[in-house]
Amino acid sequence: MSADAFLELDGVDAYYGQSHILWDVSMEVREGEICALLGRNGAGKTTTLRSIAGARPPDVRSGTVRFKGDDITDESTENISARGVSLVPEERRIFPNLTVEENIHLSGVSRNWSNRVGRALSFAEGGLSNEEVYAQFPRLDDRRTQQAGTLSGGEQQMLAIARALKQGGDIMMLDEPYEGLAPQIIQSVEDAIRRISENGMTILLVEQNAVAAMKIADRAYVLDQGEVVFDGTAEALREDEATREKYLGV
Ligand code: ATP
């Protein structure tokens, strides 16, 4: 494991049944950074997140996933989540018929782990209090009594992130948080991700919108047909026109 790696994939091969999807994927996310995982539709980004989070399928048939040096490849999603790895899935998973307040309340702290974001905001353990969550998301504060299903797409995304933040954790993996959002709304979700990062949360940001992701990422990986085809700083990727055109279409 490299000295900097916080979350590390080492030679991961993942399958859905007989379909071999991830091919020898190695990557690392360093503590405190925003790391982007980019690639076209179907490149294997969600499969990578599911492989890390212990969600099955896919089956990880070879290779290792390590978090803070521990091998978590074969652990359950519950254990991995309790270690402080949180996943905000693409479908956002909020309760549309409940209010914003009820949604946040229901993601109450059920675990007991030391938490960097919590510590930064002077909470020794667990996630944030409701009020701290609202302080991070003023738009949600204004809409506490509104039914979540009636929020805009951007507000629903913020609510999904707020719920993950309330639960705590050391690394947040976001699956396509900008999907379906208008450019000015993307900006406000971007701001929210930046704020969370500044408070000490490590971020793995999966996006098809490479331009937006490169704006806030420190480093990036590009996947194509389940293989890592680029690995470097976001700045290097911005300057690598050939890779951007070939694999990201931008
Ligand atoms: P997207 O932007 O569409 O989410 P992605 O990069 O996240 O793309 P994945 O969802 O990881 O891509 O999909 C990678 C490949 O795995 C695709 O070819 C997809 O069809 C296939 N795949 C995804 N989920 C399953 C599944 N449950 N069973 C079989 N094949 C699947």
Indicate the top mutation candidate among 13, 16, 175 to test ligand 1's pocket, ranked by most ligand atoms within 8 A of CB. 16
Cα 129 to ligand 1 centroid, rounded to whole Å:
35
In degrees, to the nearest 5, what angle opens at C-alpha 36 toward C-alphas 30 and 38? 140
CA distances from 101 to 53, 123, 155 (A): 27, 21, 13
Burial 68-91 (b: 16+ CB within 10 A, else e): beeebbebeeeebbbbbbbbbbbe
Q: What is the pLDDT of residue 108?
A: 61
Name the residue range of residue 117's domain: 5-248
Quick check: 71 and 65 in contact, CB under 8 A? Answer: yes
Nearest atom (ligand 1) to Cα of 90: 4
Going by alpha carbons, the residue nearest to atom 22 of ligand 1 is: 16
Mean per-residue pLDDT, 81-87? 93
Question: What CATH number is attached to the domain comprising 156?
Answer: 3.40.50.300
**Using omega within 30 degrees of 0 as the cis cutoff, is the peptide bond preceding 96 cis?**
no
DSSP state of 57: S
Going by alpha carbons, the residue nearest to atom 25 of ligand 1 is: 16
Q: What is the pLDDT of residue 2?
A: 65
Edge-first strand order for the sheet with 59-67 is: 19-30, 5-16, 59-67, 70-71
**In this predicted model, what pLDDT tens digit does every residue of 120-152 receive, in sequence order?**
443 334 577 888 889 889 899 999 999 999 999
Backbone angles phi and psi of 168, in degrees to 5: 90, -170
Give, for 223, the enclosing helix (H) or strand (E).
Answer: strand 219-224
Nearest atom (ligand 1) to Cα of 57: 27
Going by alpha carbons, the residue nearest to atom 17 of ligand 1 is: 42
Burial of residue 198 (number of CB atoms within 10 Å: 0-12, 13-18, 19+): exposed
Going by alpha carbons, the residue nearest to atom 23 of ligand 1 is: 47
Tell me the pLDDT band of 92, cut-offs 50, 70 and 90: confident
Cα 153 to ligand 1 centroid, rounded to whole Å:
23
Mean per-residue pLDDT, 31-52? 97
**In this predicted model, what pLDDT tens digit does every residue of 176-187 receive, in sequence order?**
999 999 988 899
CA atoms within a 13 Å half-sphere pointing along the CA-CB vector of 241: 0
Number of compact structural domains in the chain: 1
CA distances from 222 to 114, 206, 234, 240, 249 (A): 32, 10, 11, 12, 12
**Which residues have CB under 6 Å of ligand 1?**
16, 19, 21, 39, 41-47, 57, 208
Cα 58 to ligand 1 centroid, rounded to whole Å:
10
